[in-house]
A and B are shown apart, each in its own frame.
Chain A
Amino acid sequence: MSVEPFIGLSALLFTIGAVGVLVRRNAIVVFMCVELMLNACNLAFVTFARAHGNLDGQIAAFFVMVVAAAEVVVGLAIIVSIFRTRRSASVDDASLLKL
């Protein structure tokens, strides 16, 4: 089995995710791009686990999924509450973290 196509796909997904985080303003989209990057990592983990024949990478992938699930809960809650107070889901509107 050749790993290159899988790694290439993983890198592509990660890049799409990263660019999305940087250029999109909508918090939901940014959030989905973060998920995309996490899953790109998962793909790389399982690919290498398969190539090397041990389960470490698979376990790591499970951990990432668990963390991602938890993160979704917290993140969505934050986004919803920001939307409620500001009537906007744009990340640029929530720029209060400065003097």
Chain B
Amino acid sequence: MTSLSSVVLAATEHAEVVPVAADGVFSWVWLVVAIPAISAAILLIGDGAGDHGPLDRFGHLLGTAASIASFVVGLVAFVALLGRDAAERAITQDLWTWIQVGGFDVTMSVYYDQLAALFVLLITGVGSLIHVYSIGYMADDPRKRRFFGFLNLFIAAMLVLVLAGDYLVLFLGWEGVGLASYLLIGFWQEKRSAAVAAKKAFIVNRVGDLGLALGIMLMFAQFGTTNIHEVGLNVSNASQSVATALGLLLLLGACGKSAQVPLQSWLLDAMEGPTPVSALIHAATMVTAGVYLVVRSAAIYDLSEVARTAVMVVGTVTLLFGAWIGCAKDDIKKALAGSTMSQIGYMMLAAGLGPAGYAFAIFHLITHGFFKANMFLGAGSVMHGMNDDVNMRHYGALRKMMPVTFVTFAIGYLAIIGFPGFSGFFSKDKIIEAAFATNFWAGLAALIGAGVTAFYMTRVMILTFFGDKRWREGVHPHESPKIMTIPLIVLAALSIAGGALTFSSWISDWLAPVTGEEHHDLPVPAIVITAVIVLVVAVGVALAYVLFGRRDVPETAPQNVSVFTRAGRADLYGDAVNEALLMRPGQYLTRSLVYVDGSGIDGAVNGTAELVGDGARGLRRLQTGFVRTYAAEIFGGALVLVLALLAVNLA
């Protein structure tokens, strides 16, 4: 467990970061957001004339160019950042005052530091590759201009998120990526399942966003500022309970965005979106925003043991949860989605370890971004050749038909299972080591997760590329065009080379000023743990080979399966739990409220109105329209008046 002294040390390390004003290249960092934002605006609202305007024909090239331009700016800034002293690498630039109400100021500012720089490269780099891939993948879609507009919107929003210097600006990006995710999941809105999945993702994310919003409000109430840097400085003077509350609220936000238990249910359904979207948003970048939030808020988590433990527990539970689901799915995208949940669980687990794990969380996030985007795009390439069939039981023996897809997918596969030398090997190994050093049970869970990962990914490989042909009639598998395979090749290369980030612990040193640094002593030499991990992975692979590689795979999913498989197929009853615990009681509550509203409140109001109306209808009969009736009434009234006067006078 973390000792108190190291906690204080880590906290003071954060305090030492002094952001410097942007100059030179860095005063142009805002361009990385502006370029895709403007491109998105052009693609989405420009040129509404007809369906065959220039934007409809060349819009996808504009979107791709914007993403690549953004990457180039990010790369230039990153190179410039490398050339600076470590003390001057946190750069801030105020653009304009966004909100000014009394004592509440929010400045729209760019905060570019080591962490943000890595994210900018990941988002724009992987994003650009996926843009290029989408040119091929979406070639026949009549609405591809809108698709590329949404992708650009996503890139811009995600960059706002990671470059924000203020939690409220971060929240703007946070909601922006949520919106883009919603729009892209439901891109094929004519499919009912896609529309429903988009809505589900949006609603589940609202729950998490509520946590983040409450956290930001609490920051303002406590510290009078929502500036990330200043909150980090102030939180060390705040009470333990405030830090814990903030940590837990931010964790709730992170759970929603990163599909962590208990807000995991939307991610599997999100696979209804086009495959490049699944690769970019629901694997490589957006779903890792929760991890970013936790790491960015390191100053808060450093002060609260409880919040850190909660993050660790959430991560550990999710990594097993996602792996379990990944084992049971026949839909290749859902199997990969389960795997994404699981891998983000690893990142969360690492982030929950405190300064010892932050850097490894980001390291795994980056390598995962490479190999998971690679595998999703590979899956998309397979689907492209199989008439958009996603059922792996209809695949088989595709390695000869799709050699490039096969080789790149296999590289991604070796990376994710942690085959020695590939990027995932280094990043996962670091997390498991750090977990063992801090908490034995978390380490054990991560180790088991590594074995299960190897098992289900081997299953995906065997079902898709090996074994017998189980193709449907009329399906003629073929390799995808070059525009799709080149991004695959680049990502495959990155999946291999990504591990280089950790050589001579470069990434830990690079991120140390942001996240703090802390080393734990392992109970056993690191090489032993690495050996054990490789062994567990080998067992997982061997098991999958015995179960799937040496038997025939039935073309329809067997029904008499173990209770574990059945639970996995049903997403571990996540939807059932949500329905039973939240949806049904909510429905009963709303129905009873509607009843009270309808018969109680509306009844009272409408009853009064009807009473007045009925009375008026009765009185209306008096108005006959006959002059003589009115005359009689006047005489009657006068008579009554005279009699009354007489009675008073006589009395």
Q: Are A22 and B624 in contact (CB under 8 A)?
A: no
Q: Are B623 and A98 in contact (CB under 8 A)?
A: yes
Q: Are B620 and A92 in contact (CB under 8 A)?
A: no
For B628, what are the chain A residues with a Cβ–Cβ distance below 8 Å?
Answer: 21-23, 25, 30, 91-92
Bound complex: CA of A94 vs CA of B632, how far in Å? 17
Residue of A with least CB distance to B635: A18
Bound complex: CA of A18 vs CA of B627, how far in Å? 13
For B624, what are the chain A residues with a Cβ–Cβ distance below 8 Å?
Answer: 95, 98
Instruction: Mark contacts of B615-647 with chain A using CB atoms, 8 A cut-off: 1 yes-contact digit, 0 otherwise.
Output: 000001001111110011001000000000000
Instruction: Mark contacts of B387-415 with chain A using CB atoms, 8 A cut-off: 1 yes-contact digit, 0 otherwise.
Output: 00000000000000000000000000000
Q: Are B626 and A91 in contact (CB under 8 A)?
A: yes
The listed residue (B620, B623, B625, B635) touching A22 by CB distance below 8 A is: B635
Bound complex: CA of A97 vs CA of B627, how far in Å? 9
Bound complex: CA of A96 vs CA of B632, how far in Å? 18
The listed residue (A22, A30, A92, A97) touching B632 by CB distance below 8 A is: A22
Q: Are A98 and B632 in contact (CB under 8 A)?
A: no
Bound complex: CA of A18 vs CA of B628, how far in Å? 11
For B632, what are the chain A residues with a Cβ–Cβ distance below 8 Å?
Answer: 22
The listed residue (A23, A92, A94, A97) touching B623 by CB distance below 8 A is: A97
A48-99 at interface with B (beta carbon < 8 Å): 91-92, 94-99
Q: Are B631 and A92 in contact (CB under 8 A)?
A: no
Bound complex: CA of A35 vs CA of B620, how far in Å? 31
Q: Are A91 and B635 in contact (CB under 8 A)?
A: no
Residue of B with least CB distance to A95: B625
Bound complex: CA of A27 vs CA of B620, how far in Å? 25
Q: Are B627 and A91 in contact (CB under 8 A)?
A: yes
For B631, what are the chain A residues with a Cβ–Cβ distance below 8 Å?
Answer: 21-22
Bound complex: CA of A99 vs CA of B619, how far in Å? 12
Residue of B with least CB distance to A21: B631
For A18, what are the chain B residues with a Cβ–Cβ distance below 8 Å?
Answer: 635
For B627, what are the chain A residues with a Cβ–Cβ distance below 8 Å?
Answer: 30, 91-92, 94-95
Given contacts A21-B631, A22-B631, A22-B635, contact A95 B626 (CB under 8 A): yes
Residue of A with least CB distance to B620: A99
Bound complex: CA of A92 vs CA of B631, how far in Å? 12
- A19 CB to closest chain B CB (Å) equals 10
Bound complex: CA of A21 vs CA of B631, how far in Å? 7
B357-412 at interface with A (beta carbon < 8 Å): none
Given contacts A21-B628, A91-B628, contact A99 B623 (CB under 8 A): yes
Q: Are B635 and A96 in contact (CB under 8 A)?
A: no
For A96, what are the chain B residues with a Cβ–Cβ distance below 8 Å?
Answer: 625
Bound complex: CA of A18 vs CA of B635, how far in Å? 8
Q: Are B635 and A97 in contact (CB under 8 A)?
A: no
For A92, what are the chain B residues with a Cβ–Cβ distance below 8 Å?
Answer: 626-628
- A40 CB to closest chain B CB (Å) equals 14
Bound complex: CA of A92 vs CA of B625, how far in Å? 8
Bound complex: CA of A92 vs CA of B627, how far in Å? 7
For A94, what are the chain B residues with a Cβ–Cβ distance below 8 Å?
Answer: 627
For B625, what are the chain A residues with a Cβ–Cβ distance below 8 Å?
Answer: 95-98
Residue of A with least CB distance to B630: A97
For A21, what are the chain B residues with a Cβ–Cβ distance below 8 Å?
Answer: 628, 631
Bound complex: CA of A23 vs CA of B623, how far in Å? 18
B249-283 at interface with A (beta carbon < 8 Å): none
For A95, what are the chain B residues with a Cβ–Cβ distance below 8 Å?
Answer: 624-627
- A68 CB to closest chain B CB (Å) equals 17
Bound complex: CA of A21 vs CA of B625, how far in Å? 15
Chosen A-B contacts, 8 in total, with CB atoms closer than 8 Å, are A21-B628, A22-B628, A22-B631, A91-B626, A91-B627, A91-B628, A98-B623, A99-B623
Q: Which 4 A-B pairs have the closest CB atoms?
A: A98-B625, A95-B625, A91-B627, A97-B625
15 more contacts with CB within 8 A, not counting A92-B626, A94-B627, A98-B624, are A21-B628, A21-B631, A22-B628, A30-B628, A91-B626, A91-B627, A92-B627, A95-B626, A95-B627, A96-B625, A97-B623, A97-B625, A98-B620, A98-B625, A99-B623
